[in-house]
């Protein structure tokens, strides 16, 4: 429903977020839109700063990957 409201309002470039979902009372849930560029890195490309998805290598022998 939160994503539908963002679409209806013409907001683009946002991810739908709902906080406090572990709280059993829905009155305490907080619906929001999180701008995607704030979650991205900034790189200079062709003389202009652009938001980009930062590449990361996954350590297949690492503890976090094994736990996953």
- Is the Cβ–Cβ distance between 36 and 43 less than 8 Å? no
| Average of per-residue pLDDT values in the chain | 90
| Region 50-64 average pLDDT | 86
Domain ranges of the chain: 2-67
CB neighbour class for 63 (10 Å; exposed up to 12, middle 13-18, buried from 19): exposed
Beta bridge partners of 18: 31
Check residue 33 and report its DSSP letter.
E
pLDDT at res. 68? 87
Residue 42: predicted pLDDT: 87
At 53 the pLDDT is 84
> Which of residues 54 and 31 earns the better pLDDT score?
31
User: Is 16's pLDDT higher than 90?
Assistant: yes
Looking up tokens 């059993």 gives 24
Answer yes or no: are the C-beta atoms of 49 and 39 closer than 8 Å.
no
């Amino acid at each position: 429903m939160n994503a539908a409201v963002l679409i209806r309002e013409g907001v683009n470039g946002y991810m739908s977020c709902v906080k406090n979902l572990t709280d059993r009372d829905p009155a305490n849930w907080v619906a929001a839109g999180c701008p995607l560029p704030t979650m991205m890195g900034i790189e200079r490309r062709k003389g202009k700063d652009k938001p980009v998805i930062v590449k990361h290598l996954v350590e297949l022998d690492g503890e976090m990957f094994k736990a996953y």
